[in-house]
Structure 1
Amino acid sequence: MSDVEAEISRVSALTRQLLTEYAAWGNKIVVGEVGNMMYDDMTEFVNLRMETVESCLWLLKAGKVADALGLCRSLLEHYLLYMLMCRGNKYFRLQDRADLTESKFKEYLAERQAAQIKEAADGKTNCIGVEKYPRAKRHVMYIYEGVKAKDEPEFVIPVHYFHFQDFHPETMRLPEGDYFSYRDIGEIGKEAMKRHRENATERYRFYLSYDALLQCLELNGLVDKAALTRIEAHYTFLGKFLHPTHGAARDLHVDRNHHKGGTSAGLPQPYSPVATLLANIYVCYLVASLVDEIAGLFEAASTKYFSDVATAELRELTKRIRDEFSYFWFLFNEPTLYDKFLYASAQATAEEWAELGGRYESVPSDRVKFSKDIYKHFGDSLNGWSNNRCRYRSPLEGR
């Protein structure tokens, strides 16, 4: 068995161990004196994602790497949404002022910002900020805190919890009059359905679409600019296996330039071990990310809901994943040693290299940029490299 094949077994085993621990976790939680349906809903969200994780593992065991990566794109998008459902305590309402010229819009925005400051000081508004919405022309963004219960003001429910539950894609995309109906809903009904469609479109565009998720994550301080670039790269890479993209699956195969012709389910040559390992790493990190998110949600809950959330074993496993597979740079972990090695080899000046004491491991994380060529970069990181400045050892060496 090669080093890569042995690592595939290790990653898959740890993913399954975390799945098993998550499934057992519910019986370890000690509930408090009061129940809250939100926690059941938030748990069900993760339960359904774990079903997708199991599907990924089955596909990988059967050698269907591209299909597993496509499902990972779905898991990634659900994870971004779940972050907002758990911690997105700020939300916004938009005002469309595209009727104004750019100069007039700037004046209007400044007026609304000054008014908000005064109204907040006088206790006349719960708006906490006014900004220009960056993803649409001449829209004013009024920022608020999440939904609070009257009898429990410290308990904030992010609005994405409600947006997710209330969004129905068929309402947005399938006009009532274009499809079979047992009865004519009349003009009043058609007008009502039109309003529902407009509301659904607005909910999707500004809160649930991919661009909207990024905007809301940034608004809530859950991602910075560097994390956004990593999200974009991973999302784009995984999306190649979900949407029609020429050559995406072929590039992951052994002898990818060998065209044998004929008909078959997939290509005659297998997926490369590196591609299989990469897909397993994605699944493992996505499971760990979802588990960390729900663990944090329960840990932050009032003791009246849970007297013991019993997350210690879960946290131990997710930390182990990040420690043992730190050679994969995902969304929120540190740059890999390989990325630091590349910076030290190709970008660090002689003065910088001297400051680092001749150790690429000492490169500050904020100097290292993420590589967008995810598959090739990952494969290269598994090899050993050396140059006249430093030597990089494979993370699989001595496993």
Structure 2
Amino acid sequence: MSSGEAGEKPNQVKVELDRVIQGTRDMMATYVAWGNEIKFGANYNMMYGDIIEFLNFRLETAESCLLLIEQDRIADALGLCRAMLENYLLFKLLCRGDKFFQLQTLETFKPAEVKARLLKQQEELAAKHANGEDLACLYVEMYPRRSKHLMYVFKGLRDQTNPNFFIPYHYFLHFQEFRPEAMRLKDEDYFDYTAPDPGVVASQKTYRLETTYRYQHYLSYDALLQCLEINDLMSKAERHRINAHYTFLGTFLHPTDDAAKSLHINANHRSGRPAIGKGQEYTNTAKLLASLYVAHLVAGMLNEVAGLLEKAPSEHVADAGTSNLRTVVGEVEQSVEYFWFIENDAPLYDRFNYAVNWATDEDLQMYGDYSKIPSDRVKFTQHVYSHFAASLRDWSNPRVGIYKSPLD
């Protein structure tokens, strides 16, 4: 194992915390100013405005996170980051989700019959593709989230007059149409001025079932991951990282013992006396971690919206005007790459840690230096906070070499 310096580097962490927060606010200010740079085309499409409006409220949440961090409310900020992460996954689909699926239920079939139906459908579809037929259906396979269901994956919704323009399926049929109250609340259980009409009650029941289906298969967390995978917007390794971050951040959103306590100075101290939170302050490392989550999430969403307008047909967006936005976001992204989020490569510390524990001498000789170890060889560490804290220290290993803290 490697050896390192114990404890935080409080002054350096505080300087870095201020820098990351300022960088995030710079990105958001650039985004607001970007509104004057966009030149929409003669045929304005409301979809772009609706998606920008969606992002506006996510950035309000990001600003709330920064304010909470500055007020030393780190657990609450991390809980809000969990909500932002889920919205970020949805936002990727709103901007780039050009494939969708439909299910065929075979619950009354025997397992052998289900397999036979799948093989027959796959063979028929493959034959049609081989004959050059332009089919909306791309492929069919078993639905991984429920047995005895076939999943047919289709091309996205295209404009018949302009095949270069597609409407993301989540925007068109799922997100805007979803009503959580219709899924969870029955009108007959709540006050109304008149007795419910039986016909209305029956139609509401049907709509409730449809809404529940939409949530379970397209908008829940697991459903979002499935849709991202179908749209090639998430690799297997990225899925593991998403799950780790989602689970870690969720411990601050749900009642989880010791989640918030573990982020404090003298975390094991228990006073047992009434207080607002814990008497000891949060560590500077915890504050920096929260700020890095916000920075990565904001950068990711701004990249998505920039890409959406850049790819828009000229009749809808004459000039996306994203040059300055891309520059500012890129600079911040590059400066926070030492925190391994979802889409960035393994940071130097993770390569160093991998080299110490897994790389052979032959590996190190082949790559020349631990920093050259390919990112896809390095597994993500699920213990987010302790691993991040370790990455802020200096480490050395006689076989691998020296790792310097990004704070230096």
Q: Which runs of 4+ in 1 moved over 6 A?
A: none
Range with bigger deviation, 151-160 or 215-224: 151-160
Distance in 2 (CA, whole Å) between partners of 1:147 and 1:303 is 19
> What is the CA–CA distance in structure 2 between the aligned matches of 1:111 and 1:179, rounded to whole Å?
49
Residue 93 (structure 1) aligned with residue 109 (structure 2): no
Tell whether the 8 Å contact from 2:99 to 2:153 is kept in structure 1 after alignment: yes
Give the aligned partner of residue 376 of structure 1: 386
Query: Which residue is 1:205 aligned to?
Result: 216
How far residue 114 of structure 1 moved from its aligned partner, in angstroms, is: 2.1
Q: What secondary structure is seen at the aligned counterpart in 2 of 1:391?
A: strand
2:121 partner amino acid: R
Separation in 1, partners of 2:45, 2:147: 40
One-letter amino acid matched to 1:91: F
1:183 aligned residue (194, 209, 230):
194
Q: Kindly indicate whether structure 1 or structure 2 has the higher relative contact order, using CA contacts under 8 Å at least 6 residues apart.
A: 2
Deviation at 1:187, TM superposition (A): 2.3
Matched, 1:353 2:361: no
Q: What is the match of residue 153 of structure 2?
A: 143
How do 1:299-378 and structure 2 match up within 5 A? Answer: 299-357=310-368, 359-378=369-388
Distance 1:296 1:153 in 2: 18
CA distance in 2, matches of 1:33, 1:363: 50
In structure 2, the CA distance between the partners of 1:29 and 1:97, relative to structure 1 (3 Å rule), is: same
Paired amino acid for 1:190: V
Question: Corresponding residue for 2:93?
Answer: 84
Instruction: After TM superposition, list the pairs within 5 Å mapping 1:210-359 onto structure 2.
Output: 210-357=221-368, 359=369
**Partner SS for 1:2:** helix
Consecutive unaligned residues of structure 1, counting only runs of 5 or more, are: none
Is residue 40 of structure 1 aligned with residue 49 of structure 2?
yes
State the secondary structure of the residue aligned to 2:164.
strand
CA deviation vs aligned residue, 1:317-353 (integer Å, no higher than 9, x gap): 2211221111101100000000000111110112112
Task: Give the whole-Å Cα distance in 2 for the aligned partners of 1:39 and 1:384.
Answer: 46
Aligned equivalent of 1:165: 176
SS in 2 for 1:307: strand
Q: Residue 364 of structure 1 aligns to which amino acid in structure 2?
A: P
In the alignment, is the contact (CA less than 8 A) between 2:345 and 2:375 conserved in 1? yes
Query: In the aligned structure 2, how far is the partner of 1:318 from the partner of 1:124?
Result: 39
> How far has the Cα of 1:122 moved from its partner?
7.6
Q: How far does the alpha carbon of each residue in 1:228-275 deviate from its partner, in whole angstroms, 9 at most, with x for none?
A: 000000011111111111111001011000111211111111100000
- TM-score (normalizing by structure 1): 0.97
The number of equivalent residue pairs is 396
Provide the rounded CA distance (Å) in 2 between the counterparts of 1:329 and 1:371: 9
Question: Per-residue CA shift, 1:281-307, capped at 9, x if unaligned?
Answer: 101111100100000001001111222
Matched, 1:28 2:33: no
Which whole-Å CA distance do the structure 2 matches of 1:160 and 1:286 have between them? 20
Distance in 2 separating the partners of 1:356 and 1:110: 45
Percent identity for Structure 1 against Structure 2: 46
Give the Å deviation of 1:185: 2.8
The SS at the match of 1:269 is: coil
Q: Say yes or no: does 1:54 pair with 2:63.
A: yes
Distance of 2:180 and 2:361 partners within structure 1: 56
Q: TM-score, normalised by structure 2?
A: 0.94
Is 1:128 the counterpart of 2:133 in the alignment?
Answer: no
Distance 1:28 1:102 in 2: 57
For the residue of structure 2 that corresponds to 1:131, the secondary structure is strand
Gapped regions of structure 2 (runs ≥ 5)? 1-9
* Aligned-partner Cα distance in 2 for 1:164–1:381: 38
Change (3 A) 1:58 1:124: closer
Q: In terms of mean alpha carbon deviation, does 34-43 or 174-183 score higher?
A: 174-183
Contact 2:164 2:313 in 1 (8 A): no
CA distance, structure 2, for counterparts of residue 187 and residue 130 of structure 1:
40
Root-mean-square deviation (CA, aligned residues, Å) is 1.3
* In the alignment, structure 1 residue 75 sits paired with structure 2 residue 84: yes
